[in-house]
A and B are shown apart, each in its own frame.
Chain A
Amino acid sequence: MMIKKKSGYAAVTWTAIACWMAFIWLHTFTYMTNYDEGTGIYGFLITGIVTLCLTMFYWFCFKPDDDSSTLMSILFDEDNDTEDLLEECGDEVKKKWSILHKSMLGVCVVAFLCLLGFAFEMWTDITVFTDATYISIGFLTINKKYMFDPILFIVFPFWAQCIFRGIREEDYKVKSVISASIQLIVLSLISFLLFMKLPNIWLIELAMIESIIIISAIKKYIWKQCAEKKGNVLALFCVYELFWCSLIAVFYKSGMTLSQYTYGNNWSEYQTNIRTLLGGAAAFGKSELLSSNQAVVDFLANRNNYLLAGVYYGGWVATIIVIAVQIAFLFATRRMLGKHAVNNRNYLVYIAAWWTLALRVLLGIPYGLGILAMPIGLPFAGKISIYMDTIALGLLIWSAYEAKKIDNSFYKDRMLAEVVGDNEIQIEREDDEEEIVLEFLEMVKLTSGDYSQRCYAEKFKEDKILVLEPVNNDESWVFMVEKDKETGKWHDVEDTTVREELLLTYSRNNKPECMEVVE
């Protein structure tokens, strides 16, 4: 008897959602207790739910996939109407633009707009790069902090994956690698210029996430394909890292300590307050020692760190519970990327979203406890962060949904004789007009003795071989049967090589849209 093995994406998704609600509860509690301004009991909850729903809706509408009708594909997919606009018109021969050419055009346009931005900042009231918080173009004012995360885990990884696909499309030629490297460096430079006025910790996070995106892209698109040229790949990556180091070093002055660079001058004061808070905390519940300490009360007032609020109001037990929930959230969201995450078309977007949340946990907890001078807030613990982190969570929920489809497309070979024994196999085509018949597939009914199963069938070798995939097949296994020339009876395909080829072809033909296999 087959034992059903659950993929477990539903469980981890619900765990992540439960953790998300717990964080919003803690954030609301912190606002109600530590802040002077009122927010209401449901304010953050409604904000979070609306953001999550809108993220799912927009990603459903605009996510880049094989379907050329989506908005994203207008820029980067090959077969679409806009291709005509981008064709080079020769005398008679028309040459198609590659993905890298289109991407280079995009990079040039953005770079040109940035140059215009700089020029207009000098002569007009427009501010794009030189204001710490806002981009102001006439009546339009945009807070840069609302742009940071979407650029970090949607725009940059999406563009990077197009560039890496372009390298693969051009068969890893030196010319394409140079073009891609220039594009990635220009994109990183533009993102740096856009956010350079924000405190240094933002730039450090920008550098970390963009480097992780590049590492993930190399792992997916380059590493196995360029087995003999790994040295070149490493050298190029080192150049990219040196570039980022030089950008970050712009704001470093001699004599500055690491904590001064990342936090500011008063890190020791922050640590003193944290030590007082942790030292005076009770094991469980609120400590009278802390509530009578005016310095601690002033330190926590208007501070959006629910870990510290947990220490103050709930004691050590509450703090440990909050840390445990953070870690559970981290593992649950990592699992949501899927077992075959690297085969997802939008792998870079999802991995960037996960790392954005992961850094908040991995650096936010040590910072909250005064161990590390990296002022990164905990997940869902800020007015802007609650929107941005929820967008990241929405993307990860979508990733879990796609991961299930991808897992199901890893078909396993199974002999039909193991299921039906020596009984005669009969296969009848179903002529049900209501049934949705896919491009390659048709619906058949497989019967043998007492065994009866509806299957999707794909024909090979002039209908003499069928690959059968049972309907409602949780285990993703397929049967491969061929018709005997003499008797006309169906039996398992015996040749192992043929079976392997058939399995590969069937998997290729039936892979979901969200899946991308780099060979």
Chain B
Amino acid sequence: MIYKLKKFLEDNVIFSFFMIAVLIVVGCMVWKYTLVKAVKSMETINSISKSDEESKDERFEYTAVGTFYHSPSGVVAGPFQYLYTDEFYFSWDTIAR
């Protein structure tokens, strides 16, 4: 069956290109539909959480000895004392590999 289909597509090149174009369009529509549906079906974190500027003001305290992070759970974390990276006080994007 697969070989027959392959042979048919090889013999009908224009049809093959047309099918590829259709599949790309359908794929894009499925991609968009599933994402939009999934995002709209629930209340998202970025709609609940405070604005970036507000949270920055509250969570980061800039001092002369470094930047301190006040976490929502109440634990105060200072800059990495041991790592050779003073500028990486608390940022997911910079810690993680």
Contacts and interface: CB of A to CB of B under 8 A. Distances in A.
Contacts of B78: 265
B75 interface: yes
A369 to B, nearest CB: 15
A139 to B, nearest CB: 23
Most chain B CB within a 10 A radius of its CB, from A132, A201, A251 = A132
Given A251-B82, A261-B82, A264-B83, A382 B46 contact: no
Contacts of A269: 71, 73, 75, 77
Interface residues of A, number: 53
A132 B87 contact: yes
A246 B55 CA distance: 41
A304 interface: yes
B48 A199 contact: no
Nearest to A301: B49
A195 to B, nearest CB: 11
18 contacts: A25-B31, A29-B35, A29-B39, A32-B35, A42-B28, A132-B94, A201-B97, A261-B82, A264-B77, A264-B80, A264-B95, A265-B81, A266-B69, A269-B73, A298-B72, A301-B46, A301-B49, A312-B45
Contacts, number: 116
A297 B48 contact: yes
Contacts of B14: none
Given A301-B49, A377-B96, 8 more contacts: A41-B31, A42-B32, A199-B94, A266-B90, A295-B73, A301-B46, A303-B92, A375-B95
A472 B27 CA distance: 34
A35 B75 contact: no
B38 interface: yes
Contacts of B94: 132, 199
Nearest to B43: A291
Most chain A CB within a 10 A radius of its CB, from B45, B72, B90 = B45
A279 to B, nearest CB: 14
Interface in A290-346: 291, 294-295, 297-304, 312-313
Contacts of B55: 298, 301
Shortest 10 CB-CB contacts between residues of A and residues of B: A33-B44, A298-B72, A375-B96, A266-B77, A301-B49, A295-B72, A376-B97, A34-B45, A201-B97, A269-B75
B34 interface: yes
A72 B36 CA distance: 45
A294 B44 contact: no
Given A286-B42, A298-B49, A375-B95, A41 B36 contact: yes
Given A199-B88, A202-B97, A265 B35 contact: no
Contacts of A376: 96-97
A253 B82 contact: yes
A261 B84 CA distance: 11
A197 B83 CA distance: 9
Interface string A16-36: 000000000100110011111
Given A34-B46, A42-B28, A377 B52 contact: no
Most chain B CB within a 10 A radius of its CB, from A260, A291, A300, A301 = A301
B83 A199 contact: yes
Given A42-B28, A200-B83, A263 B97 contact: no
Contacts of B31: 25, 41-42, 45
Interface string A24-58: 01001100111110000110010000000000000
Interface of B: 28, 31-32, 34-36, 38-39, 42-46, 48-49, 51-52, 55, 69, 71-73, 75, 77-78, 80-85, 87-88, 90, 92-97
Contact of A251 (B38, B52, B83, B95): B83
Contact of A291 (B48, B82, B88): B48
Contacts of A357: none
A266 B71 contact: yes
A120 to B, nearest CB: 21
Contacts of A265: 77-78, 80-81
A272 interface: yes
A251 B80 contact: no
A375 B97 contact: yes
A197 to B, nearest CB: 7
A33 B72 contact: no
Most chain A CB within a 10 A radius of its CB, from B34, B46, B78, B88 = B46
A273 interface: yes
A266 B91 CA distance: 12
B45 A33 contact: yes
Contacts of B95: 199, 201, 263-264, 375
A140 interface: no
A35 B93 CA distance: 12
B50 to A, nearest CB: 8
A390 to B, nearest CB: 16
B82 to A, nearest CB: 5
A196 B84 contact: yes
A515 B38 CA distance: 46
Contacts of B45: 33-34, 297, 300-301, 312
Contacts of B46: 33-36, 301
A205 interface: yes
A291 B48 CA distance: 9
Interface in A196-237: 196-202, 205
Interface string A97-136: 0000000000000000000000000000000000010000
A25 B90 CA distance: 27
B34 to A, nearest CB: 7
Contacts of A252: 82
